[in-house]
Structure 1
Amino acid sequence: MVFAGKRPTNLGVNKGKLAPCHNSPNCVSSQSPDATHKIAPLTFTSTPEQAITNLKKIIQSLARTKIITESKDYLYAEFKSTLLGFVDDVEFYLDRNANVIQVRSASRLGQSNLGVNRQLIETIRANLK
């Protein structure tokens, strides 16, 4: 794929935080301090374990998606666009202290992705309910 780009090396959870968004608008994060990148974390009413299991099933049900890394409290998946194969890196961190799932979705290439990252998280949110 021409537009896949290289997998970032700064992903994962560091001291309870996902990587910050870069300056371009093609990233959203529930831990971002600024309005441009801010998105609400995912909420759940089940046990944390069931929430992660449900989240994984939703991710696997979406087209052109591949889970790269998973642990008890963390999922990292790549979402590939239909057209041209652009890749978004999407992370989910089960924040047991706040009882939410923190999220981050960032495009590897380009400046704007026309709100696709935000739309993806909102689709997952709707399916999680």
Structure 2
Amino acid sequence: MDLSNQSLGVQNGKLAPCPSSPNCVSTQSEDSSKKMDPLPFKGDLTETKQKLKTILVSYPRTKIQKEDRNYIHSTFKTKFLRFTDDVEFYFDEEEKVIHFRSASRVGYSDLGKNRSRMEEVQKLYYK
């Protein structure tokens, strides 16, 4: 399944839903197998974004593609086959949480890579 033309960004406070394939996780998913908990703000919006950006740029083969006031779109390339994964963050100022979505652009299974990556991001964020 090629997701390179998928809808990225935030619409009405929501990131795009995960596809039916198992290669996606999201804090806004209705599917418990794809659901993860959002991250709480650490300080104000500026401080929270800076903390997250520091984590993102520490990863090899990772680029921040787009950044708006309440949104970051980054891409991660896998180590061996160089597949691109889209990772989005929505900073919900009302709820004071960061919602995220991590999805593979191609393929069906990611062997749990999107989930394990986002669990690692969560651990670094809570440090």
Can you list the C-alpha shifts for 1:56-85, whole angstroms capped at 9, x where unaligned? 111011110011000111000000001111
Q: Which has the higher strand share?
A: 2
Whole-angstrom distance in 2 between the partners of 1:45 and 1:20: 26
Is 1:122 matched up with 2:84?
A: no
Q: What residue is the counterpart of 1:88 in the other structure?
A: 85
TM-score (norm 1): 0.91
Aligned to 2:98: 101
Against the structure 1 CA distance between its residues 127 and 108, is the aligned structure 2 distance closer, same or farther, given a 3 Å change threshold? same
Q: Deviations over 1:24-44 (max 9, x none)?
A: 000001000111211111123
Q: Decide whether the 8 Å contact of 2:63 with 2:75 is kept in 1.
A: yes
Structure 1 residue 6: Cα displacement: 6.9
TM-score by length of structure 2 reads 0.93
Identity %: 46
Task: Structure 2 unaligned segments of length 5 or more: list them.
Answer: none
Q: State the match for 1:25 in structure 2.
A: 22
**Is 2:76 the partner of 1:79?**
yes
Distance 1:37 1:97 in 2: 24
Q: Distance in 2 between matches of 1:81 and 1:111?
A: 15
Give the alignment's Cα RMSD to 1 decimal.
1.3
Indicate yes or no: 2:61 matched with 1:64. yes
Give, as a single letter, the amino acid of the residue that structure 2 aligns with 1:111.
Answer: Y
Q: Which runs of 5+ in 1 are unaligned?
A: none
